[in-house]
């Protein structure tokens, strides 16, 4: 499904690109011929496209050019982050029923090793007589990140937009960050990652965290590449219940894709909190307490929950 | 009088010159080499397949490599205790033990550095520590102080060796060609001029003073690798002193063991006497009591409060999965040696040797207990992870590498004891002269 969406989007964009290139060119048989590569002949097969001003136009298929991918972000740009942003996440515990679609999407998009997860969903109970609830966790992207403090080689770092990332080309695999993180966020590539050879050959990008490398640490990256494109992280868009909200604290807005809230109002009205506030790590992930729940606490995808607890 | 002195000197030299390995010595070295080779093979497998060959997983992400590292750093502290502290305090009886202590220190610190590289997921990037090092990270502090300690220890082994090298060079026919070349390379410039002696003494004094703060640093910083995290069992302000006292204890224990073995192997009964065992026994008791004190602090205070985060960890140690090992380490590492060595009869060579072994073995398991159980009690529940993530027992590769590194340490000690006089010759002669005069 995601695959289909992507290819359709690319196709539309390709059309727009071609249309844009044609403006102001000398008239030919097909206006789009001007922007075509030399030697390309019209195939006669037309496709319908939506132009910039909202008109449906027909273009010969042969003149469509794929839009080049956004230039890859350099390591130093990826380490700097996006200026003027401060990314935050809000997780509404009243909406989670442990479907783990977030986890699935994350595992797929980041090629996380089987058995390991960057997004985790825990059955939690605060005290003996209080009600249990499901708690999804991502990396907390702390403002005082204990992992970054202890890293000896600057392999994990905090960006100006608040995101904590890992440079797998830098990580020496000492695992001090894993010991330091109180949220059990980090996982390690104990063996060579279970990914295709082509994927493994790609240059590593801190923003996509792909490809993972043997002997280095991995974790949730807040989908920094998606934020750069102005899109929501994969876990946010994958959740059918709209549990995850993502946004920019400077804009004071968070969205789960279908609903958008003023971040400060949401946190104030619903008594938002952060995990282990007493440790002083200042997470960028906020939780809304599991009150007025949409679902009762049920095993969800964990049918054998009783055995696991 | 003059004549008897000369005779005594010659006898001392003949007694203390390095001796060739006998059959037992050769077998011993062979066995150690075999362990090292198995360890190397295991490490080859780890390099090839990754840390997946270990039993470490995302929760227990530090295992026996790290506890072994802590153990080595701890043992190496003895160099500063016996050599530096005793020398500065003018403790005369410890002189025959200084070289043993320094050799142990050098061997242990070498293997501490090696084992920490073994623990790295990407050891080929080791040089990143120097290229991209962040001074804010306690690991960098450890790299700096351990390197410093290594060089000071080497020098502290080397300078007092110079007068002995001069003696060794006089007995070319005994040492053989290869060793003689080494002695020449190391010490032929030492002519024992008054100026050189003055310089040498000064250098040793400076090293003895500087090694003490550096020794405290290496083990305090090592304790901070744990104490700077939030985890139950590690999050303690007591950790630096706790580690230092434990380090002095295991170091002193290892010296007792080594002096017994060297005494037996090289027939040094006249030089390492029951008096030395008696004195070292007292020191071990003192240090064991000190370490016990810190242990009580470390466990009793949190157990009194039983904070939620500490509860599972402490119960696991006192009465849970780790209880047998925990009480074994406390009894073997501290209480039984204290009982043995409190009695005069217990401080004779054989019982003291046994107590020393107990201290060292107990200390190894103690380090394991400091590292592993804590990692099994994270703040977030262990949920929806593969079964292997829930517990930790080292794989054969980990055992092979850990045992190989221990064998390697003993091998370095044995070889240094073969190449150099294990008891300082010149100092023994000087002392003899003083007593006679």
Q: Where are the domains of chain A?
A: 2-63, 75-288
Confidence of residue A58 (pLDDT cuts 50, 70, 90): confident
How many angstroms separate the CA of residue A174 from the nearest CA in chain B? 5
CATH 3.30.360.10 fits A75-288, yes or no: no
Phi, then psi, of B265 in degrees rounded to 5: -65, -40
Reported as a single tens digit per residue, the pLDDT across B87-98 is: 899 898 998 999
- According to the model, what pLDDT value does residue A29 have? 57
The pLDDT assigned to B127 comes to 96
Nearest CA in chain A to B127: A172
Cβ of B143 under 8 Å from any chain A Cβ? yes
Task: Please say whether the beta carbons of A122 and A268 come within 8 A.
Answer: no
Which residues of chain B does A176 touch, with a Cβ-Cβ cutoff of 8 Å? 137-139, 225
pLDDT of residue A305: 62
| Identity of the residue in B59, B134, B143 whose CB atom sits nearest the CB atom of A154 | B134
Residue B307: count other Cβ atoms within 10 Å of its Cβ. 11
d(CA B121, nearest CA chain A) in Å: 4
- Whole-number pLDDT of residue A26: 45
pLDDT in the model for residue A225: 94
The fraction of chain A above a pLDDT of 90, given in percent, is: 69
Residue pLDDT, tens place only, B3-44: 556 668 888 888 899 988 989 999 999 999 999 999 999 999
Q: Which residue in chain B is spatially nearest to A125 when comparing CA positions?
A: B381
- Number of C-beta neighbours around residue A273 at 10 A: 12
Q: Is B14 on the interface with A (CB under 8 A)?
A: no
In 3-state terms, what secondary structure has residue B3?
A: helix
How many other CB atoms sit within 10 Å of the CB of residue B41?
A: 14
The H or E element containing residue A164 is strand A164-166
pLDDT band at A36 (very low <50, low <70, confident <90, very high): low
pLDDT of residue A48: 86
- Report CA-CA distances (Å) from B65 to B51, B78, B308, B401: 11, 21, 29, 8
The residues that bridge with B87 in the sheet, in sequence order, are none
Residues of chain B contacting A117 with CB distance shorter than 8 Å: 384
pLDDT band at A306 (very low <50, low <70, confident <90, very high): low
pLDDT higher than 50, residue A24: no
Task: Say if the Cβ atoms of A150 and B52 lie within 8 Å.
Answer: no
Query: What is the crossing angle of helices B64-76 and B239-265, to 10°?
Result: 70
Question: B121 and A214: CB-CB below 8 Å?
Answer: yes
Residues 6+ apart with CB under 8 A from A115: B385, B386
Across the interface, whether the CB atoms of B229 and A179 are under 8 A apart is answered yes
Q: Residues 353-412, chain B: which have Cβ within 8 Å of A?
A: 375, 378-386
- Given the structure tokens 């293997």, which residue do they identify? B111
Among residues A18, A27, A16, the alpha carbon closest in space to that of A53 is found at A16
CB B419 within 8 A of CB B179: yes
CA separation (Å) from B421 to A14, B169, B412? 81, 12, 14
CB contact under 8 A, A152 and B134: yes
Contact at 8 Å (CB) between B37 and B405? no
Tell me the CA end-to-end span of chain A in Å, nearest whole number: 34
C-alpha A277, offset from chain centre: 25
The whole-angstrom separation of Cα A164 and Cα A184 is 15
Distance, in Å, from the CA atom of B122 to the CA atom of B255, rounded to the nearest integer, reads 35
Gap between the Cα atoms of B362 and B327, Å rounded: 10
Find the range with the poorest average confidence among A16-20, A59-63, A112-116.
Answer: A16-20
Chain A residue at shortest CA distance from B119: A174
Segment A226-239 shows an average pLDDT of 95
Nearest residue to A216 via CA among B61, B136, B376: B61
Distance from CA of A78 to the nearest CA of B (A): 17
Residue A164's beta-bridge partner residues?
Answer: A158
Residue B284's domain comprises: 2-436
Q: Which of B57, B378, B379 sits opposite A190 (nearest CB)?
A: B57
Residues A181-208: pLDDT tens digits? 999 999 999 999 999 999 999 999 999 9
The pLDDT, as a whole number, for residue A19 is 44
Q: Output the pLDDT for position A33.
A: 66
| Inter-chain touch A215–B122, beta carbons under 8 Å | yes
Cβ A284 vs Cβ A159: under 8 Å = no
Chain A: residue whose CA lies nearest to B385: A115
Q: Kindly report, residue by residue over A236-293, the tens digit of the pLDDT.
A: 999 999 999 999 999 999 999 999 999 999 999 999 999 999 999 999 999 999 999 9
Distance in Å, alpha carbon of A282 to nearest chain B alpha carbon: 14
Number of domains in chain B: 1
User: What does the pLDDT read at residue B172?
Assistant: 81
Instruction: Please report residues of B whose CB lies closer than 8 A to that of A116.
Output: 58, 385
As for the ipTM of the complex, it is 0.92
Give the model's pLDDT for residue A14.
47
CA distance A84 to chain B (A): 26
**In this structure, what DSSP letter does residue B348 have?**
S
For chain B, the average pLDDT equals 93
Q: Tell me the nearest-neighbour CA distance from B57 into chain A, angstroms.
A: 7
**pLDDT-derived band of residue A21, with 50, 70 and 90 as boundaries?**
very low
Core vs surface per residue A189-223: b (16+ CB within 10 A) or e: bbebbebeeeebeeebbbbbbbbbbbbbbbbbbbb
Judged against a pLDDT cut of 70, whether residue A304 lies above it is answered with no
Which DSSP state fits A203?
Answer: P
Q: What CATH code is carried by the domain that includes residue B213?
A: 1.20.1630.10
Q: Is pLDDT above 60 for A23?
A: no
Asked if B120's CB is within 8 angstroms of A173's CB, the reply is yes
CB nearest A122 (choices: B126, B380, B386): B380
Q: Chain A: nearest CA to B110, how far in angstroms? A: 19
- Count interface pairs A-B at CB distance under 8 A: 141
Can you tell me the distance from the alpha carbon of B244 to that of B293, in angstroms, rounded to the nearest whole number? 12
Residue ranges of chain B with per-residue pLDDT less than 50: 1-2
Query: Which residues are registered as beta bridge partners of A257?
Result: none
Question: Are the beta carbons of A173 and B133 separated by less than 8 Å?
Answer: no
Residues of B within 8 A of A308 (CB-CB) are 383-384
* Residue B361 structure tokens: 């073995």
- Which is it for strands A87-92 and A56-60: parallel, antiparallel or unpaired? unpaired
């Amino acid at each position: 499904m995601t695959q289909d969406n992507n290819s359709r989007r690319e196709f539309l964009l390709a059309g727009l690109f071609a249309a844009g290139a044609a403006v102001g060119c000398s008239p030919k048989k097909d206006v789009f011929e001007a922007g075509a590569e030399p030697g390309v002949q019209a195939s006669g097969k037309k496709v319908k496209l939506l132009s910039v001003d909202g008109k449906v136009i027909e273009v010969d298929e042969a003149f469509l050019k794929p839009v080049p991918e956004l230039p890859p972000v350099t390591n130093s740009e990826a380490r700097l982050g996006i200026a003027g942003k401060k990314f935050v996440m809000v997780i509404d515990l009243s909406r989670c029923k442990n479907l783990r679609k977030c986890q699935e999407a994350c595992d797929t998009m980041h090629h996380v090793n089987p058995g390991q997860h960057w997004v985790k969903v825990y059955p939690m109970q605060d005290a003996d007589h209080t009600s249990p609830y499901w708690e999804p966790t991502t990396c907390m992207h702390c403002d005082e990140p204990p992992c970054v403090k202890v890293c000896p080689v600057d392999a994990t770092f905090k960006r100006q937009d608040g995101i904590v990332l890992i440079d797998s080309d830098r990580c020496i695999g000492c695992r001090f960050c894993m010991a330091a993180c109180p949220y059990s966020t980090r996982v390690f590539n104990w063996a060579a990652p279970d990914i295709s050879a082509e994927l493994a050959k790609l240059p590593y990008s801190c923003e996509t965290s792909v490809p993972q490398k043997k002997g280095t640490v991995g974790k949730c990256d807040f989908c920094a590449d998606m934020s750069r494109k102005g899109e929501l992280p994969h876990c946010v868009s994958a959740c059918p219940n709209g549990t995850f909200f993502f946004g920019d604290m400077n804009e004071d807005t968070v969205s789960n894709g279908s609903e958008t809230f003023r971040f400060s109002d949401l946190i104030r009205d619903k008594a938002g909190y952060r995990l282990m506030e007493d440790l002083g790590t200042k997470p960028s992930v906020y939780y809304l307490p599991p009150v007025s729940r949409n679902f009762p606490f049920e095993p969800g995808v964990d049918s054998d929950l009783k055995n696991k607890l | 009088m003059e004549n008897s002195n000369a005779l005594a000197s010659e006898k001392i030299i003949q007694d203390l010159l390095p001796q060739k390995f006998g059959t037992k010595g050769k077998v011993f070295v062979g066995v150690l080499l075999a362990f090292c080779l198995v360890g190397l093979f295991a490490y080859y497998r780890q390099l090839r397949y990754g840390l997946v060959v270990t039993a470490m997983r995302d929760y227990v992400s530090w295992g026996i490599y790290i506890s072994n590292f802590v153990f080595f750093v701890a043992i190496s502290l003895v160099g500063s205790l016996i050599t530096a502290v005793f020398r500065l305090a003018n403790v005369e009886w410890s002189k025959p033990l200084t070289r043993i202590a320094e050799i142990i220190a050098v061997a242990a610190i070498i293997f501490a550095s090696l084992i920490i590289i073994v623990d790295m997921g990407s050891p080929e990037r080791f040089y990143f520590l120097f290229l991209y090092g962040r001074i804010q990270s306690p690991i960098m502090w450890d790299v700096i102080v351990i390197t410093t300690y290594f060089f000071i220890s080497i020098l502290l082994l080397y300078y007092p060796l110079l007068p002995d090298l001069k003696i060794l060079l006089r007995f070319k026919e005994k040492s053989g060609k290869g060793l003689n070349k080494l002695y020449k390379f190391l010490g032929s410039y030492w002519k024992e001029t008054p100026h050189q002696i003055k310089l040498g003494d000064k250098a040793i004094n400076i090293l003895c003073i500087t090694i003490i703060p550096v020794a405290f640093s290496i083990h305090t910083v090592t304790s901070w690798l744990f104490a700077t995290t939030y985890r139950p069992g590690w999050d303690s302000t007591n950790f630096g002193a706790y580690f230092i006292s434990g380090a002095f204890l295991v170091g002193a224990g290892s010296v007792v063991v080594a002096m017994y073995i060297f005494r037996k192997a090289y027939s040094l009964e006249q030089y390492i006497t029951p008096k030395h065992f008696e004195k070292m026994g007292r020191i071990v008791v003192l240090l064991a009591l000190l370490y016990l004190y810190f242990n009580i602090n470390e466990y009793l205070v949190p157990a009194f409060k039983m904070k939620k985060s500490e509860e599972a960890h402490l119960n696991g140690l006192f009465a849970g999965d780790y209880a047998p090992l925990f009480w074994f380490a406390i009894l073997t590492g501290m209480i039984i040696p204290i009982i043995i060595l409190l009695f005069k009869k217990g401080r004779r060579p054989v019982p003291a040797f046994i107590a020393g072994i107990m201290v060292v073995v107990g200390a190894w398991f103690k380090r394991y207990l400091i590292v592993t159980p804590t990692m099994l009690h994270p703040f977030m529940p262990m949920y929806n992870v593969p079964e292997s993530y829930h517990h930790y027992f080292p794989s054969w590769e980990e055992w092979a590498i850990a045992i190989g590194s221990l064998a390697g340490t003993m091998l370095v000690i044995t070889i240094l004891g073969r190449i150099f006089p294990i008891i300082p010759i010149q100092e023994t002669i000087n002392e003899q002269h003083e007593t006679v005069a």
